[in-house]
Amino acid sequence: MKLRCVFILLIFAFKSFLALAQTEQKTSIVFHPMFGNSILTPNNLFYTLSKGDSIQIEAFKFYISAIELLKDDKIVWKEENSFHLIDFADDKSLTIVIAGASNIIYNTIRFNLGIDSLTNVSGAMGGDLDPTKGMYWTWQSGYVNLKLEGRSNVCKSRNNAFQFHLGGYQYPFNALQKVILKVEENKKVDIVLDIKNFIESIDLSQQNQIMSPSKQAVSLSEKAVEIFRVE
């Protein structure tokens, strides 16, 4: 009789555990790097621009921060200490699991492309903000918001290389951008990162390097917002 009671209690405990697990589904954001219709990979593959020129992508990474979920323009959840380095060469970085946002109904996701001025003036930090990640200039210039490097036969530079390190937090070169995306009311957000149009908006034969805060860095940062779209 005692064994039967124990067995019944175990069954109830297991069912309760399953119910709890189901109610604690976590919201995840998954990034999908693309070059047009091709998956963007860190394997030194050649991609083709619209005019037939070839291009290789050697580095593509950026910060997103201040993630917020909204329902009809009203904030229903926001992430504290929200800083994430997305790197196309690191599969693990392409998925962000948002703890504490289960069972929240939302239809918009909003975040910053880059690092805010307050965090920049706080100096180099740890985690994804650690300078060893290769995304920190100096205390005067702060963090690189987006880094895109590669090679193209269009470039007239040495080894046909291009380097775009976009950042800056001080007026008049504050490059921080806001990204706002409409999403389905579910527990997973798939965001495509298509860099083809972004690269083709740049005349690589004339402009192939930005390595510090500048007017050009702000202009390209504004264009970079268009990289993001929801599948």
What is the distance of C-alpha 117 from the center of its chain?
Answer: 18
Does residue 104 carry a pLDDT above 90?
Answer: no
Q: What is the pLDDT of residues 47-81, one digit of tens each?
A: 999 999 999 999 999 999 999 999 999 999 999 99
* Contact present, 83 and 74 (Cβ < 8 Å): no
Confidence class for position 184, pLDDT limits 50, 70, 90: confident
Does residue 1 carry a pLDDT above 70?
Answer: no
pLDDT at site 6 = 43
Domain boundaries, the chain: 26-230
Please return the burial class of 68, using the count of CB atoms within 10 Å of its CB with bins 0-12, 13-18 and 19+: middle
Which of 21, 25, 28, 23 minimizes the C-alpha distance to 183? Answer: 28
pTM over 0.95: no
Q: In residues, how long is the chain?
A: 231
User: Average pLDDT for residues 200-204, to the nearest whole number?
Assistant: 96
DSSP 209-225: EE-SS-HHHHHHHHHHG
Does residue 160 carry a pLDDT above 70?
Answer: yes
